[in-house]
Amino acid sequence: MAVSGFEGFEKRLELHFFGDDPLSKINNNMGLRLLDFESIEQVLRAVQCTVVSAVGNHFFDAYVLSESSMFVYPTKIIIKTCGTTQLLKSIRPLTHFANKLNLKLCGCRYTRGSFIFPKSQPFPHTNFKEEVIYIEENLPKNLVYRKAAVMPSKNPCYSWHVFAAGDQNHRKKSNSDVTFEICMTELDRHLARKFYKKAGDCKTGDSAGKDMTVLTGIDDINPRAFICDFAFDPCGYSMNGIDGDRYSTIHVTPEDGYSYASFECVGSVYDDDVDIVETLKKAVQVFKPATVSISTTSNSREVWTTVARAMEPLGLKCRTFAMDEFPAAGTVVFQTFTAARRK
């Protein structure tokens, strides 16, 4: 393990808003999507990252960032950043700009794994306790239902950190959405090399990213998705997939010694289990990691069985299982898997 390197494990923030704006219908219910790019840049400056590519459809806008991704829906925003970004510093400016659109914060969820290089993280991400204090200081008082927890693992390097909050009217998860957050470490070295730019390659990040998407089979994970991808110099890769009102995203830090990849997607508790299993299997097979941790967030306690069925055929054995309930988020299930043996 390297003494210090690029931090692959992301911090993820999801904010939900509500409003009763008489102008919303005139603006086609665009909500947060009406934020101008200057305001978005101001938020990201606080976080210490920038936009490198963007795409949108009828439902939402997706941004590939210099450190991961951002998704903007009319009443929901998701920001996911890696490295030494200061993600939580986005809460205050986002709330401010949303208020200008007559939108009020009603739900918040912050999640992350255990950092590979925790001592390299700046304030307020120096430890989970500091993160929770910072979040609570920056949330409006109407979010009265709050909970923070570290979901344990047999290996403390793979614990899952969750903070969630909701107001009186949004303390329970009311929809059928399922969010899958997959973190993979110790990637297969041969496969990880595919996320390096070739020496002397003068292709742009967009062009090189498209090559990596095809070369690695990422484009086959969900053939229906429109993919916005980007390759970094000299290595690294990010992509956002858009499929109707659903997103998926992948981020790769391929350096040997601290290799890491993540896959995140959203589905429904009513989706066909076979489709979910195939999607998760395809995503993990791209990297063939030695260790996988998976968090599912939904209003169902049974989704974890689908995750287990997806990992077992890949030779990954479940080592840890934890379940907890969170306000406005629902049920969070955390599982870790390790390869029986590396070939």
Active site residues: 7, 10, 68, 82, 238, 251
Q: Cβ(68)–Cβ(44) under 8 Å? A: no
How far apart (Å, rounded) are the C-alpha atoms in residues 230 and 297? 27
Q: List the alpha helices (DSSP H) in the chain.
A: 37-47, 91-100, 128-138, 189-192, 205-216, 273-285, 303-311
Q: Cβ(53)–Cβ(239) under 8 Å? A: no
How far apart (Å, rounded) are the C-alpha atoms in residues 121 and 134? 15
Neighbours of 301 (CB within 10 A): 12
Burial of residue 93 (CB within 10 Å: 0-12, 13-18, 19+) is middle
Distances, alpha carbon 62 to alpha carbons 73, 80, 109, 328, in Å: 9, 12, 19, 23
